[in-house]
Structures are given as structure tokens and as C-alpha cells.
């Protein structure tokens, strides 16, 4: 392995043009990953036609590098402005942005940089050592039933994060799942809940929904605070986490590497599920679960380690079996085909130099995250000095462009603002925004895999649940559900009524009206 890696490194850095492509991929991936709503997929789509004029190794290497650095780039805006650059960076915002509000932006970004590099490098090393055997195991043991079980387990864990009460956590996840049902049935292709709007046949896009629930709702929250004189600008902090702080999270890092790598080798899943699963496992194993969603550095570390650990793992089914692990690896299949190559086991024998150039490039791309990311951070953190009255319109403009550019629909911009208003009201009512977003992102994945899994077992539920991995995940999920059901006997009639009342929007609307009336009285007194 070492000899092959050195050979790939020599081929990568032995040609000035190849070096230029590598550097372009590193910087371009970071920049596009950090632009809200654009992401690395946009850059890859733009570059795809141009790869026909490159050597096969150069084209595949370019996309692999963009994949590694783009996954990290989205963490910057997620932490500083509550705007995830991509769905896989959404869990990073859960605790990253609260840390920024508490004046710990340097620690959050520093942890994201370091853990992204650690997760990516670890994944690259494991990928080089175990691509073929791991891919064969994943394909033979992981199918739609197991993927659905993973999704269901992730949703169960997410229900306990971010909500003011247990019930609101579950209601948030269910609301996200309900939003995910809008559009065509992923199995039968039947339109549902599109309200006669043809553009909704494709469903609610991830990017506008994420922009609305995170960025727009946050703008509304801060604007309200500024209107009532309670707004406090986030303090600029360039203090990175200390060695001792990072060392204390070594278990979380190791756990997230394993979770991210496991999720990465599942075809069609990739870094998004890895990030949510990494965050969910951090919550599940933590002794202080209430601190998550309020600025816990372990949440940032777990999500960023997991989603970057999935990058190398996603290459395993692609290179070993020809099965793409996500959207960008699917584009890499097109790069192979443009050069009359077919990804799969034969690539290791027909084009070993291509494989090891790609492996070496992914390793060095993840190492570069550490050095370039630290330099980049010192500059980007100064954006926090921009006053809110100038920053808010800039964020709304970027979010609107990011929402529109995906499908070219004005409807997506409208969805962004509608979800922003909804998110604002839900946050005032104590609902979990992370739970809603997780339900939206994983809802379609879960539904599709559940339907495919049921077809595989001929709609025999017992056979569906008897699969070993499904059984294990079902057991863990049942433990979470039982903890909820145990609280039911303690509920009285009055508490049930109070809980039901609190589950509605009415308390938030009532509070808004009271606040508005009080402000009106103050202004009338001033003018009298």
C-alpha cells in the first residue's frame, strides 16, 4: 500500500498541470462549499463538460478533491451565520452558531477545521487499506431495510434535541416528515400534496427549506431583538480551542470517524446521513444532553468529523463496485464514462495508477484543509464585525440567490421565506428546528428505502425486522421510544390540556401581540 501511495503522490506532484488542477480543486471546493445554497455540486456540474479534455486521472482526481474540501467549506457559514453551505453541514449549525452568539466563534471554527481534517485523513487512510473488502461487505449486508432502520434510528435520536419539551421534539420531526411527503411518491410516481402547483411535483427542495428554517428565521429572531433593544452583536473571537479541549473530545472524534465511515460506504447515502448520525450519537452518549443545541463544542466536532469521514468511504462502493455513494460520486461515474472507463473491480487491474492518484489527492486535500482552513479562518471571522443592519440584507440576498439557483424557480425563494416565517414562530414556541430539518432531509430517503425493502421481502414485516442489522437498530430505537412511553402515566388531564395548548402556535402569536402592544404604548408615551 505504501509503495502504491508514494507512486500516486509522485504522479500527482510530478506534473505542473496536475498540481494546478489539484490546487484549483482545493480552493474551489472550499469557496463553493462556503457559499450558501451553491455548494460543491454546482462547481462540479459546471466543470463536468471540461473534464473531457483532461486525462482520466486528472478528471476523477479533480472531482474527488472538490468532494473533500467542499464538505468542509459549508461549515464556515453554518457556524458564523447559521447558514449551512450544504445539507451535510446542517448539524454543524445546531451548536456552531450558538457558540458564535456566545463569543466562541474561533473555537467553533477551529474545531471544525481540525476535526474535518482528522475525519477526512482517517477516512482516506482506511479507504486505501480496505476499499475492496469493505465494499463487498457493505453490498452483501446493507440493503434498503438496513438503510431505513438507520434513518428511523436517526429520527428517533433527533427528536430529543432542540425541543423545549419531549413532545415538541417528536412533533418537530413529524412536521419535517410531513413536509417531505410533498411532491411525487418516490415509488409510484403519484403526485400528492402539491396543492395544484406543478412546480411542487418535485417536492420541497432541501436548500430553500434549510435556508428558511436556519438563515431567514434567525434574521427574524435577531431583528425582533433589535426592535425591542435586546440585540447583542456576536463577539469576535480568534481564540482556537486548546490542545486539552480537543483531547477531551477524543472519544467523540473516534466515534464519529466510525459512524461517518460506516454511513459513507452505504450507496446513495453519503455525508448527509453521516453528519446527522454522528451528531445523534454524540447526543445519545453524552451525560449532559440538555447542553446540545445551546453551544456544545462536541456537537460541532461530531458532525464535522462524521461528514468528512464519509468522503473517503463514499469512494469505496464507487471504485470497488461501480455504485455511486452520493450526488457528486454519481457525477464521477460520468467522468469515467466520458473516458471510456467503467468504475468497478476491473479498474484496480486496468488503471491502477488512476486509483492511486485519486487516493493520494484525497489524502493531501484533507491535509490541506488544516493549513488553508486555519489561514482562511483568520480572515472570515472578521465578517462578524459587520453591523446587523448591513449583514441581514446581505444574508437574505445570498440565501435568495442560493435558493433560486438550484432549480431556477421563484417558487423556491417563496418557500424559503415561508419556511423562515414558520421557523420563526416554531422557535418562539419551543419546537426543534434541527428535528424539522432532519425530517425533511431523511424523510424521502427513508420512505424510498422502506418501500424498496418491503418489496424485497414481499411485504412480510417479520422477515423485514429479522435482518440482523435491522434488529439491532430496532432494539436501540425501542429503548428511546420506551423512555417516552414511561412518562405517559405521570400525565394528568390538566397537564395533557396544557401540553396540547403549548403544542400550538397560539402562545407564540399571543406573545408577539403582547410585545407589539407594549411597544406601541411606549411609542405613544414618547410622542405625548
Give the rounded distance of the alpha carbon of 64 from its chain centre. 18
Residue 183, φ and ψ in degrees, nearest 5: 110, -160
**CA 339 to CA 52: how far, in whole Å?**
7
- Residue 344: CB partners within 8 Å, gap ≥ 6? 319, 320, 321, 322
Mean pLDDT, rounded, for 467-477? 64
Residue-wise pLDDT for 189-200, tens only, equals: 778 887 777 778
Residue-wise pLDDT for 291-305, tens only, equals: 888 888 998 999 989
**CA 478 to CA 85: how far, in whole Å?**
34
Whether residue 8 contacts residue 353, with contact meaning beta carbons closer than 8 Å, is answered with yes
Q: Which H/E stretch holds residue 28?
A: helix 16-34
Mean pLDDT, rounded, for 518-525? 47
Measured from the Cβ of residue 509, the count of other Cβ atoms closer than 10 Å reads 13
Residue-wise pLDDT for 126-179, tens only, equals: 888 776 676 566 666 667 777 777 777 667 666 665 556 677 777 888 888 888
Determine the pLDDT at residue 364: 92
Residue-wise pLDDT for 364-413, tens only, equals: 998 888 888 777 666 666 666 777 777 788 878 877 887 887 678 888 88
* Coil, helix or strand at residue 415: helix
Whether residue 33 contacts residue 85, with contact meaning beta carbons closer than 8 Å, is answered with yes
- Residue 156: CB partners within 8 Å, gap ≥ 6? 477, 480, 481
Residue-wise pLDDT for 426-458, tens only, equals: 888 878 777 787 788 777 777 877 888 788 777
- Residue 35: CB partners within 8 Å, gap ≥ 6? 77, 85, 398, 402
Are β-strands 191-192 and 183-184 bridged in parallel, bridged antiparallel, or unpaired?
antiparallel
Residue-wise pLDDT for 344-370, tens only, equals: 666 777 777 888 888 899 999 988 888
**CA separation (Å) from 118 to 112, 124, 138, 256, 341?**
10, 10, 23, 11, 32
Amino acid at each position: 500500500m505504501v509503495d502504491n501511495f508514494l507512486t500516486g503522490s509522485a504522479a500527482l506532484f510530478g506534473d505542473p498541470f496536475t498540481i494546478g488542477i489539484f490546487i484549483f480543486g482545493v480552493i474551489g471546493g472550499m469557496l463553493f462549499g462556503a457559499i450558501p445554497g451553491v455548494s460543491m455540486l454546482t462547481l462540479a456540474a459546471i466543470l463536468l463538460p471540461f473534464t473531457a479534455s483532461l486525462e482520466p486521472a486528472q478528471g476523477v482526481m479533480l472531482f474527488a478533491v472538490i468532494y473533500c474540501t467542499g464538505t468542509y467549506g459549508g461549515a464556515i457559514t453554518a457556524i458564523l451565520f447559521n447558514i449551512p453551505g450544504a445539507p451535510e453541514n446542517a448539524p454543524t449549525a445546531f451548536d456552531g452558531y450558538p457558540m458564535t452568539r456566545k463569543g466562541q466563534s474561533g473555537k467553533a471554527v477551529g474545531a471544525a477545521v481540525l476535526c474535518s481534517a482528522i475525519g477526512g485523513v482517517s477516512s482516506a487512510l482506511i479507504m486505501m487499506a480496505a476499499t475492496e473488502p469493505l465494499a463487498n461487505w457493505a453490498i452483501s449486508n446493507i440493503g434498503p431495510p438496513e438503510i431505513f432502520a438507520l434513518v428511523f434510528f436517526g429520527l428517533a435520536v433527533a427528536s430529543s434535541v432542540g425541543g423545549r419539551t419531549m413532545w415538541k421534539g417528536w412533533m418537530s420531526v413529524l412536521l419535517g416528515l410531513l413536509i417531505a411527503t410533498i411532491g411525487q411518491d418516490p415509488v409510484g410516481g403519484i403526485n400528492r400534496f402539491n396543492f395544484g402547483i406543478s412546480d411542487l411535483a418535485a417536492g420541497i427542495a432541501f436548500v430553500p427549506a434549510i435556508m428558511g428554517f436556519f438563515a431567514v428565521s434567525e434574521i427574524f429572531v435577531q431583528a425582533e431583538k433589535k426592535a425591542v433593544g435586546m440585540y447583542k452583536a456576536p463577539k469576535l473571537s480568534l481564540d482556537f480551542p486548546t490542545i486539552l479541549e480537543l483531547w477531551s473530545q477524543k472519544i467523540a472524534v473516534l466515534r464519529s470517524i466510525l459512524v461517518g465511515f460506516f454511513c459513507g460506504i452505504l450507496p446513495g447515502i453519503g455525508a448527509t446521513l453521516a453528519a446527522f448520525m454522528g451528531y445523534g450519537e454524540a447526543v445519545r452518549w453524552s451525560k449532559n444532553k440538555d447542553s446540545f443545541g445551546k453551544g456544545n463544542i462536541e456537537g460541532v466536532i461530531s458532525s464535522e468529523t462524521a461528514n468528512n469521514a464519509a468522503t473517503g468511504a463514499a469512494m469505496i462502493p464507487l471504485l470497488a463496485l461501480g455504485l455511486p455513494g452520493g450526488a457528486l460520486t454519481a457525477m464521477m461515474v460520468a467522468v469515467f464514462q466520458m473516458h471510456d472507463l467503467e468504475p468497478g473491480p476491473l479498474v484496480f487491474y486496468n488503471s491502477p495508477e488512476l486509483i492511486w492518484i485519486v487516493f493520494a489527492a484525497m489524502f493531501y486535500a484533507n491535509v490541506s484543509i488544516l493549513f488553508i482552513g486555519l489561514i482562511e479562518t483568520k480572515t472570515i471571522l472578521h465578517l462578524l464585525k459587520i453591523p446587523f443592519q448591513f449583514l441581514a440584507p446581505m444574508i437574505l440576498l445570498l440565501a435568495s440567490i442560493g435558493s433560486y439557483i438550484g432549480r431556477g424557480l421563484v417558487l423556491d425563494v417563496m418557500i424559503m421565506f415561508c419556511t423562515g416565517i414558520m421557523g420563526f414562530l416554531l422557535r418562539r414556541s419551543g419546537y426543534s428546528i434541527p428535528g424539522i430539518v432532519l425530517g425533511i432531509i431523511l424523510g424521502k430517503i427513508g420512505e424510498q428505502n422502506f418501500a424498496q425493502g418491503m418489496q424485497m421481502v414481499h411485504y412480510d414485516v417479520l422477515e423485514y425486522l429479522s435482518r440482523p442489522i435491522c434488529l439491532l437498530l430496532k432494539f436501540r430505537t425501542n429503548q428511546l421510544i420506551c423512555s417516552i412511553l414511561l412518562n405517559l402515566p405521570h400525565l394528568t388531564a390538566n397537564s395533557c390540556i396544557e401540553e396540547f395548548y403549548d403544542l400550538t402556535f397560539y402562545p407564540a402569536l399571543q406573545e408577539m401581540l403582547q410585545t407589539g402592544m407594549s411597544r406601541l404604548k411606549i411609542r405613544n408615551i414618547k410622542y405625548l
